Structure 1
Amino acid sequence: MKWDWDRRTCSRRGHVTYAPTEPHLHDRLRADTALGEAWRCLRCGDFALGAPHGTGKATDAPLVPRGKALRDLFILRLLAVERIVRGVFIVLVAVAVWEFSNSQTSVQQFFQDNLTLLQPIAAHFHYDLNNSPIVGSIQKTFSYKHSTLLITAAALLGYALIEIVEAFGLWAAKRWAEYLTVVATAAFLPLEVYELTHKISYLKIGTLLLNVAAVLYILLAKRLFGLRGGAAKFEAERHSASLLEVETSAGEHPQAAQPTK
């Protein structure tokens, strides 16, 4: 079963109708029914009862995403959700690092006291806490300088800000956000590959594959950096998706559609 992005979107958000002032287009997009006038939706092509949502010249008609453009918008918003979740998580980590930098000594003392209490329990289960990689990693953080922790917290906040800006830009389908996402994501790919050479995990592999797929998709689908015709071709594709412009260029009557309530 083929997924109809246009009609499914209209079922959630409602139809988008427009009355062009050009007589030949006005008559082709309007229909009289027993229940009153109906106008053809710019997104799905069905007729919707009631007055049009806007009127004016055909060139001033709203560009309504439809078909492939709707699918692309859905994918961009999935990426936006992933970016905002990641950004919020990084902010929380940055706050934790900053809090730790201000109470490093007390946290270290608390950890050492509880580590001493856990020694008998660990020994009972034949687990050597003194040679534990997890315990060793935690103890290593206590040797970091206060200034180093502050720099780390600031760097994390900067990274989180980039992720959050990307998220809002992608949600609004802004072209600058697509460029930012590609550049920022690609810049961290070598680091992710380097981490895999030290320790492989399903999470790291999944994250790497997701980021590579996101970069390739946005590059090709949005024709960034001149690929596949660049911005000019992308804008032409967007405009050709407008029902009014398709009908104008075709010079023929659209296929009949049934009025809908």
Structure 2
Amino acid sequence: MTAKPYNPDPHAHPGLHLIALFEASKGLLAVLAATGLEILGPLPLQGAISHLIRRFNLDPDHGALPSLLKMISPDAVHMAAAGIFAYGLLHVVEAWGLWRAKAWASWLGCLSAALYLPFDIYAIVRHPGWASWSVLAVNLLVIAVLARDLVRRKPRR
């Protein structure tokens, strides 16, 4: 059985295009979130967390939410926004590369999707259900499509 030679035409890879659209949407949402975080600043976050503490009658001095509330400052918001922006920009660049069927983008996508696998498995153990299994299935499908693309690029002997 002989394999088809790799087609360098980016339009011959609909799977890559679908993943590129998915990555672009994740990246654009992250960039929008970072922008919103910068525009709004720490006050709305502090207000929302204070509301949650009051709403659920939590101890205002101990626990995860009060600790988070104490950590929110303008500097922390700037750092979080910068990290979210970098994450979004990375996904937008990856999406561009996948749309153009670049090998480096397939490598980047494969590695970044694989980094999520331990968290996906942890989510299944902690919260078994269709949502956790669906996220794992999507990540495994992305890895399979990108790995297949990389294998097809190898020259045949």
Count residues with an aligned counterpart.
Answer: 143
Residues 129/79 of structure 1: CA separation in 2 closer, same or farther (3 Å cut):
same
Q: 1:142 aligns with which of 53, 66, 69?
A: 69
Larger Rg: 1
Cα distance in structure 1, aligned partners of 2:78 and 2:121 = 27
Q: What is the one-letter code of the residue matched to 1:176?
A: W
Q: Which residue of 2 aligns with 1:231?
A: 154
* TM-score of the aligned structures, taking structure 2 as reference length: 0.70
Partner residue, 2:25? 85
Structure 1: distance between partners of 2:124 and 2:37? 24
Q: Tell me the alpha carbon deviations over residues 212-251 of structure 1, each in whole angstroms, 9 at most, x when there is no partner.
A: 1111222134307xxxxx6213xx8xxxxxxxxxxxxxxx
Structure 2 unaligned residues grouped into runs of 5+? 1-6
TM, length-normalised to structure 1? 0.45
The residue aligned with 2:57 is: 130
Structure of greater relative contact order (alpha carbons < 8 Å, 6+ residues apart):
2
Mapped pair 1:191 → 2:119: yes
Q: CA deviation at 1:187?
A: 1.9
Query: 1:167-206 to 2 correspondence within 5 Å?
Result: 167-200=95-128, 202-206=130-134
Q: Which has the higher helix share?
A: 2
Q: Which amino acid aligns with 1:166?
A: E
* Secondary structure of 2:71's aligned partner: coil
Q: CA deviation at 1:141?
A: 4.3
For residues 216 and 107 of structure 1, what CA distance do their matches in structure 2 show?
Answer: 39
Taking only aligned residues, the RMSD between alpha carbons, in angstroms, comes to 3.3
Q: Which of these residues, 73, 79, 86, is aligned with residue 151 of structure 1?
A: 79
TM-superposed deviation, 1:130 = 2.2
Judging by fraction of residues, say which structure has more strand: 1
1:78-100 deviations in Å (ceiling 9; x for gaps): 11111111111112222233344
1:97 is the counterpart of 2:37: yes
Q: SS at the partner of 1:222?
A: helix
Residue 206 of structure 1 and its aligned partner are, at CA, apart by 1.8
Distance of 1:199 and 1:91 partners within structure 2: 29
| Mapping for residues 209-248 of structure 1, pairs under 5 Å | 209-223=137-151, 231-233=154-156
How far is 1:139 from its partner? Answer: 6.2
